Amino acid sequence: MVGGLLTMLVTLNPVVRFAYDNLSLHVALETGEGLVGGLLAYLAVQRYHARRATRDALLAWTFLVLAATNILLSAAPIVTAGARPAGALTWAAVGLRFAGAAGLCSAAFVPGTALSGGRRVRIRALGGTFLVVLVVAMFAVVAGRSLAEAVDPFLSPESSGRPRVVGHPVVLTIQVAAMALYAAAAVGFRRQARPGGDALLEWLAAGAVLAAFARLNYFLFPSLYSNWVYTGDVLRLGAYLCFLVGASREIDAYRRDQTRLAVMEERRRMARDLHDGLVQELSFIRSQTAAMAGGVHLPDMAAHVAAAAERALQESRQAVEALSGTGAERLGEALREAAEEVAARAGTAVEVEGRAVPDVPPGVRDALVRVVREATGNAVRHGQATMVSVRLHAGNGVLRLTVADDGKGFDPDLVVGYGFGLRSMRERVENLGGSFAVQSEPGSGTVVEVTLRPGTP
């Protein structure tokens, strides 16, 4: 509607005129449109990698061609030579702009089915691009030698009170053909956008409408290949602004998808932790209490049940912290709170060093907190320690955590009462690509040492 109204005003009303003889403004327009085209080409490549759709591959190729045409064949020659490009460069720009219109129209009607072939598809796409550029370059060389100037750069549309269909017949024909291609692309993108509500395709449809009216203006008044900035240039800028809005909507959709994926991944992680921790402990407690209710009384059965209940309680608190968002404190503070919470129940003193260590990914942070809880709990329950020392150090990309106590120690080869806790800690650390070690002997306390890289997934 906007494009048609502006075209009618300029065409039918002699009072309304818009024209500036300004090469610098041409540079700004061509450069800005080239940057938008480059952004859209990048987004289309990302869509192709995610969906392998023919449409996205064509969009990437189309906007790459248009971006290169705007910057390399239109803006750069003005900057370097101080004048509008002429001869072969002008005809090359004519050909590539038409190829871009054809590519956009093709993308609007090809199915969104996934391509197969992977590397072969990319090779064919590069080969097709090279072939198109080669054909256009050969055409430009021939046309630049045998054909006249596309549009007289000194012809002023400002003094015209009516449409002036001037310029080389080939250029005029290309403008009409490009107008038809853009109009068809608008219809095609609109139809493709409706089923899934694809915001990028909706804005591509809107931009294609303005691009079609821009080509109509270029047909009625000479401006695209002259020194003048005229109504058609404004409509073309409007088309690229629509494309830019579509790109911003696409980026926003990516951001929402990433946020949703992050939430889902966090939920899966918590589900794994609950399954591997709380559920296992509760299952053990249920089996043991059922056996006790049936008259089975094995040595230390009650102690094992109590230890499992303690671990289940720790797992529950960990889940509550994660769900309530109270675990946002830095790693050192989280380790201190974990150790003090467990040790306070038995009146054991706790010493923590390393609060200033940079924070780590949530998965690493959660694993270290659980290791400190389990190691401190072992020291209090089994080692009867009076002091637990937690030290955290980072250097050269390596994080080292040690939990030492002054308890009665144990023989690591005879892990009575320690077995499940040690195995759980070891598995958590090794799943992060780290190393886990325990040093202890009867009468000399215990040292649990963890070494890993914070960036480990």
Report which residue type is found at 65: V
Q: What is the pLDDT of residue 339?
A: 86
* 406-434 average pLDDT score: 77
Which tokens is 184 given?
Answer: 């068809």
The pLDDT score that the predictor gives to residue 276 is: 65
Average pLDDT of span 388-411:
89
Amino acid 204: pLDDT? 93
Whether the predicted pLDDT of 208 surpasses 90: yes
- Tell me which of 232, 260, 288 is where a domain ends: 260
So what's the pLDDT on residue 15? 44
Asked whether the predicted pLDDT for residue 123 surpasses 70, the reply is no
Report yes or no on 71 lying in a domain. Answer: yes
CB 52 within 8 A of CB 78: no
How close are the terminal C-alpha atoms of the chain, in Å? 52
Q: How confident is the model at residue 411 (pLDDT cuts 50, 70, 90)?
A: confident
pLDDT of residue 223: 65
Average pLDDT, the chain: 78
Q: What is the pLDDT of residue 342?
A: 79
CA dist., res. 43 & res. 253, Å (int): 12
- How far is 60 from 73, CA to CA, in rounded Å? 19
Instruction: Please indicate, yes or no, whether residues 239 and 347 belong to a single structural domain of this protein.
Output: no
Q: Give 217-254 pLDDT, tens digit per residue.
A: 888 876 667 777 878 888 898 999 999 999 898 888 88
**pLDDT, average across residues 364-383:** 85
pLDDT score for 188: 93
Q: Examine the pLDDT at 457 and tell me if it is beyond 50.
A: no
DSSP secondary structure, 45-71, as one string: HHHHHHH-BHHHHHHHHHHHHHHHIII
pLDDT-based confidence at 183, cuts 50/70/90?
A: very high
pLDDT of residue 290 exceeding 80, the answer is yes
Sequence letter at residue 456: T
What does pTM read for this prediction?
Answer: 0.61
Question: Is position 162 within any domain?
Answer: yes
* Residue 221 backbone zone (phi > 0: left; psi -120 to 50: alpha; other: beta): beta
Please tell me which of 135-149, 156-170, 222-236 the model is most confident about, judged by mean pLDDT: 222-236
- Are both 320 and 392 inside the same structural domain? yes
Assess whether pLDDT exceeds 80 at residue 135.
no
Mean pLDDT of 45-58: 83
Question: 266 lies in a domain?
Answer: no
Query: Taking 70 as the threshold, does the pLDDT of residue 372 lie above it?
Result: yes
Residues 314 and 441 reside in one and the same domain: yes
Strand partners, 377: none
- Note the pLDDT of residue 14: 47
Mean pLDDT over 322-332 rounds to 62
What is the per-residue pLDDT for 121? 56
Contact predicate 272/254, CB 8 Å: no
Q: Binning pLDDT at 50, 70 and 90, where does residue 47 land?
A: confident
**In the predicted structure, residue 5 carries a pLDDT above the cut 60:** no
> Which comes out higher in pLDDT, residue 14 or 40?
40
Confidence of residue 53 (pLDDT cuts 50, 70, 90): confident
Domain containing 145 equals 2-260
Q: Which two tokens stand for residue 436?
A: 């886990």
Number of domains in the chain: 2
Strand segments, DSSP code E, in 63-109 are none
**Residue 33 domain flag:** yes
* Residue 139, domain member (yes or no): yes
- 161 plus 230 within the same structural domain: yes
Question: For residue 23, what pLDDT is reported?
Answer: 76
pLDDT digits (tens, 9 = 90+) for 58-116: 898 899 888 888 887 777 666 666 666 666 777 778 888 898 999 999 999 987 666 65
Residues 329 and 382 in one domain: yes
Q: Are residues 305 and 167 in the same domain?
A: no
Q: Return the structure tokens found at 287.
A: 């089996």
Q: Domain check: are 65 and 209 in the same one?
A: yes
User: Is position 389 within any domain?
Assistant: yes
Q: Is residue 265 part of a domain?
A: no
pLDDT higher than threshold 60 for residue 159: no
Burial (Cβ within 10 Å: 0-12, 13-18, ≥19) of residue 326: exposed
> What CATH number did the domain enclosing 395 receive?
3.30.565.10
Whether the per-residue pLDDT at 13 is higher than 60: the answer is: no
For residues 156 and 37, state if they share a domain.
Answer: yes
Answer whether residue 437 shows pLDDT above 80.
yes
Q: What is the mean pLDDT of residues 367-381?
A: 86
Taking residues 411-430, report their average pLDDT: 73
Task: Label residue 137 by pLDDT band (50, 70, 90).
Answer: low
Question: Does the pLDDT at position 268 exceed 70?
Answer: yes
435 DSSP β-pair partners: 451
pLDDT for position 49: 80
- Same domain, yes or no, for 234 and 365? no
Same domain membership, residue 208 and residue 315: no
Instruction: Please report the pLDDT score of residue 140 as a whole number.
Output: 62
Q: What is the pLDDT of residue 417?
A: 45
Residue 331 lies in a domain: yes
3-class DSSP state for residue 223? coil
Q: What percent of the chain has pLDDT over 70?
A: 73
pLDDT confidence tier of residue 178, bands split at 50, 70 and 90? very high
Are both 58 and 198 inside the same structural domain?
yes
Task: Examine the fold and report which residue of 260, 286, 312 is the final residue of a domain before the chain moves on.
Answer: 260
Return the pLDDT at 86: 65
- Same domain assignment for residues 435 and 320: yes
